[in-house]
């Protein structure tokens, strides 16, 4: 028997199975988990903008904190002076001269023989010092003046905010000083 011949046809064989596609060759990617220069520059620019916004706010908050401390210092000295007057009948006298911790006011200290003699230690543990470490200097710091009947205590040149509504406004130097005083010492 002869094999069956087909007229130009191939013998009926099973169709070949479809092959799965070959996996794509691995890409040669330059990024292996890092950041590009552009991404890093964007992050740096964003951080610089945030710093530009936040630094002035933080500096302002430090100034507000120092001014709050100055206000507390003025009130503490005012209370101590009133208590001293109740006990002694007059305020500690400087014979009408300014005494303070700045060089211009004598460069006095903060203890019993400091710029307001007689308040430490009975009325205050120590005389106050400006909260800004740059002071006192040659002309700025805390200063006191009294003739015994009246007094004026000032933060000279160190406050960082002023204005007509400020309760410590010094009429003699409204743009540089804060003060507390007895009525007779108000305009010194």
Confidence of residue 188 (pLDDT cuts 50, 70, 90): very high
Confidence of residue 177 (pLDDT cuts 50, 70, 90): very high
pLDDT tens string 134-160: 999 999 999 999 999 999 999 999 999
Please state, for a pLDDT cut of 70, what percent of the chain lies above it.
84
Domain ranges of the chain: 44-185
The angle subtended at Cα 50 by Cα 44 and Cα 56, nearest 5°, is: 135
102 within 8 A of 140, measured Cβ to Cβ: yes
Give the lowest-confidence range in 49-58, 61-70, 121-130. 49-58
pLDDT at 165 > cutoff 90: no
Confidence of residue 17 (pLDDT cuts 50, 70, 90): low
Q: Look at residue 3 in the predicted model and tell me its pLDDT.
A: 55
pLDDT tens string 101-126: 999 999 999 999 999 999 999 999 99
Among 148, 151, 157, residue whose Cα is nearest residue 79? 151
Confidence of residue 51 (pLDDT cuts 50, 70, 90): confident
Confidence of residue 172 (pLDDT cuts 50, 70, 90): very high
pLDDT at 1 > cutoff 70: no
Q: Mean pLDDT in the chain?
A: 88
Q: Look at residue 34 in the predicted model and tell me its pLDDT.
A: 83
83: tokens are 């208590």
pLDDT at 161 > cutoff 60: yes
Residue 169 DSSP one-character state: B
Among 79, 115, 118, residue whose Cα is nearest residue 98? 115
């Amino acid at each position: 028997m002869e094999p069956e011949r087909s007229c130009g046809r191939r013998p009926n064989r099973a169709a070949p199975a479809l092959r799965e596609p070959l996996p794509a060759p691995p890409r040669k990617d330059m990024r292996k988990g890092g950041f590009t220069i552009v991404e890093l520059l964007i992050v740096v620019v964003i951080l610089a903008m945030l710093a530009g916004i936040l630094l002035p706010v933080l500096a302002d908050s430090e100034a507000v904190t120092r001014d709050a401390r100055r206000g507390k210092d003025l009130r503490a000295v005012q209370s101590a002076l009133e208590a001293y007057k109740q006990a002694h009948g007059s305020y500690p006298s400087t014979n009408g001269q300014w005494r303070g911790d700045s060089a211009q006011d004598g460069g006095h200290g903060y203890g019993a023989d400091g710029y307001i003699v007689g308040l430490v230690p009975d009325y205050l543990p120590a005389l106050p010092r400006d909260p800004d470490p740059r002071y006192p200097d040659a002309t700025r710091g805390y200063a006191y003046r009294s003739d015994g009947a009246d007094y004026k205590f000032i933060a000279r040149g160190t406050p960082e905010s002023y204005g007509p509504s400020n309760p410590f406004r010094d009429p003699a130097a409204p743009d540089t000083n804060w003060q507390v005083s007895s009525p007779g010492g108000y305009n010194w």
